[in-house]
């Protein structure tokens, strides 16, 4: 979408209808220049996980200005904003705030001023749309009834923020939601397109370390040593059979060795080698199958190499894990219909589940009576999408130093979608 289009024309083009004929779209168009200024400020000042103090302060101030009751410092830097508007259901809308340890190379005039830190995942668009939605819901309070809880969550990128907010009393200190909704910008959809999955949409993510011990020695005399590099190499190769030969072919899983560290010099057999793995799955059963298989293979290769019990490989799991994101059927199909009616069937599409991770499902897993939906809003500029002909290998992905979403299209679409969803859940 052309960045130079005025907001009203941009929203009219995205919607396919005259913006002036729709009060919500008219309000979003009027608000969009100010929102984009906020977005660019967020983008220029990214903050790493659990350090989102500046971002949280901006969000809290905007929510207070809109009339919400605001509590800060929930689960670290988290913000909880509550708008009580009579009897009715409780809806929670969530945005995440943290950036990534990535050096930006987008060439944007408002690129990150914090070298080595970048909003490469688009959480700056999430926060901006959160503000726009809060403004619209407050301004339209005559059109809905119930309680709206809007949260700004820290530390999504390290899988800690949702759990931290829940542990800090999110569901006991504040109204407990019956429905939770969030969106994520997408580098796999053209700008302004809404994508959704019914069921699993993102994966379980486990980080696993394997310490492979051996007996160090001289490279010229390997028979006097136990080479951990060879043992670790066997482990890497055998791990591939977990997916190829143990997991049901109709299920999904990934085991990737992302780091293999060992040795210091050509002619020295080191005393140990270290592997770092990322493990992806959807169902709890496949997750457990993969994790137990990793432990079994590591131990088995150590035994096969003749290691004594005290030198067998040690497998440990890092705390940075996220559960699979699961969209519950009821709210997903309901919002698919609402969005299709609102945006047209050309802009609302079903997409494939992804093996990326998100901690959004923590809010659903804390109480499975809650309805949950995380949907996608496309961010690839139309000219770039057309030039690539939809070939994702020719486009930067999220977490890339080159990721620069069409912020106007993402923010305007997300505010429209989140407000429309909230008005539907909280309709009188």
| pLDDT 10s digits, 306-346 | 999 999 999 999 877 899 999 999 999 999 999 999 999 99
Per-residue confidence at 3, pLDDT binned at 50, 70, 90?
Answer: very low
In this structure, are 45 and 131 located in the same domain?
yes
Catalytic positions = 98, 156
Final residue in a domain of this structure, among 317, 336, 351: 317
For position 268, what pLDDT does the model report?
A: 98
In this structure, are 255 and 359 located in the same domain?
no
Per-residue confidence at 300, pLDDT binned at 50, 70, 90?
Answer: very high
Per-residue confidence at 25, pLDDT binned at 50, 70, 90?
Answer: very high
For position 94, what pLDDT does the model report?
A: 98
In this structure, are 47 and 194 located in the same domain?
yes
Q: Does the structure show a pLDDT above 70 at 239?
A: yes
In this structure, are 101 and 181 located in the same domain?
yes
In this structure, are 165 and 278 located in the same domain?
no
Q: Which domain holds residue 358?
A: 7-202+324-425
Q: How many CA atoms lie within 13 A of 344 on its CB side?
A: 11
Final residue in a domain of this structure, among 287, 317, 347: 317
Q: Any idea which residue has 């987008």 for tokens?
A: 106
Residue 52 lies in a domain: yes
In contact, 288 and 251? CB cutoff 8 Å = no
Domains held by the chain: number = 2
CATH number at residue 311: 3.30.70.360
Residue 2 lies in a domain: no
Q: Does the structure show a pLDDT above 90 at 190?
A: yes
Q: Does the structure show a pLDDT above 90 at 14?
A: no
For position 231, what pLDDT does the model report?
A: 98
In this structure, are 190 and 104 located in the same domain?
yes
In this structure, are 191 and 210 located in the same domain?
no
In tens, the pLDDT along 143-185 reads: 999 999 999 999 999 999 999 999 999 999 999 999 999 999 9
Residue 395: phi and psi, rounded to 5, are -125, 145
Average pLDDT, the chain: 95
Per-residue confidence at 206, pLDDT binned at 50, 70, 90?
Answer: very high
Tell which residue, 32, 119, 126, 31, has the closest CA to residue 79: 126
In this structure, are 190 and 80 located in the same domain?
yes
Distance CA 423, CA 91 (A): 10
Residue 1 lies in a domain: no
In this structure, are 214 and 229 located in the same domain?
yes
In this structure, are 197 and 208 located in the same domain?
no
Residue 209 lies in a domain: yes
Q: Does the structure show a pLDDT above 50 at 136?
A: yes
Final residue in a domain of this structure, among 317, 350, 371: 317
CATH number at residue 349: 3.40.630.10
In this structure, are 263 and 347 located in the same domain?
no
Distance CA 365, CA 374 (A): 14
Residue 171 lies in a domain: yes
In this structure, are 215 and 198 located in the same domain?
no
In tens, the pLDDT along 42-89 reads: 999 999 999 999 999 999 999 999 999 999 999 999 999 999 999 999
Distance CA 93, CA 127 (A): 11
Strands 194-196 and 348-350: parallel
């Amino acid at each position: 979408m052309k960045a130079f289009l005025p907001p009203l024309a941009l929203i009219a083009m995205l919607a396919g209808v005259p913006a002036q004929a729709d009060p919500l779209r008219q309000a979003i168009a009027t608000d969009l220049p100010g929102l984009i200024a906020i977005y660019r400020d967020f983008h220029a000042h990214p903050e790493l996980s659990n350090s989102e103090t500046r971002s949280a302060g901006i969000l809290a101030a905007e929510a207070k200005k809109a009339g919400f009751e605001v509590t800060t410092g929930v689960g670290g830097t988290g913000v909880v904003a509550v708008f009580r508007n009579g009897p009715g259901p409780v809806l929670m809308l969530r945005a995440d705030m943290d950036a990534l340890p990535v050096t930006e190379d987008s060439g944007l005039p408002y690129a990150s001023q914090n070298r080595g830190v970048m909003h490469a995942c688009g959480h700056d668009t999430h926060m901006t749309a959160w503000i726009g939605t809060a403004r619209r819901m407050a301004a339209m309070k005559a059109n809905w009834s119930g309680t709206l809880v809007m949260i700004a969550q820290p530390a999504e990128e390290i899988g800690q923020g949702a759990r931290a907010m829940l542990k800090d009393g999110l569901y006991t200190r504040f109204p407990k939601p019956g429905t939770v909704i969030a969106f994520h910008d997408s580098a796999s959809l053209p700008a302004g397109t809404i994508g959704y999955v019914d069921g699993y949409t993102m994966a379980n993510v486990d980080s696993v370390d394997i310490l492979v011990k051996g007996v160090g020695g001289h490279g010229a005399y390997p028979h006097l040593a136990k080479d951990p590099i060879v043992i670790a190499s066997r482990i890497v190769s055998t791990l591939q059979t977990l997916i190829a030969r143990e997991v049901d072919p109709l299920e999904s899983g990934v085991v990737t060795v992302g780091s293999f560290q060992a040795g210091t010099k050509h002619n020295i057999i080191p005393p140990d080698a270290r592997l770092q793995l990322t493990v992806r799955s959807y169902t709890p059963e496949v997750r457990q199958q993969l994790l137990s298989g990793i432990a079994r293979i590591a131990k088995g290769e150590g035994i096969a190499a003749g290691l004594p019990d005290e030198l067998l490989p040690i497998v440990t799991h890092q705390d940075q894990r996220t559960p699979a994101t699961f969209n519950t059927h009821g709210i997903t199909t309901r919002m698919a219909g609402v969005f299709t009616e609102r945006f047209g069937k050309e802009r609302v599409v079903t997409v494939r589940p992804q093996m990326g991770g998100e901690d959004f499902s923590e809010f659903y897993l804390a109480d499975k009576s809650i309805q949950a939906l995380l949907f996608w809003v496309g961010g690839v500029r139309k000219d770039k999408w057309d030039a690539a002909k939809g070939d994702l290998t020719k486009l930067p992905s999220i977490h890339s130093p080159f990721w620069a979403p069409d912020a106007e299209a993402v923010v305007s679409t997300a505010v429209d979608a989140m407000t429309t969803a909230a008005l539907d859940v909280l309709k009188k």
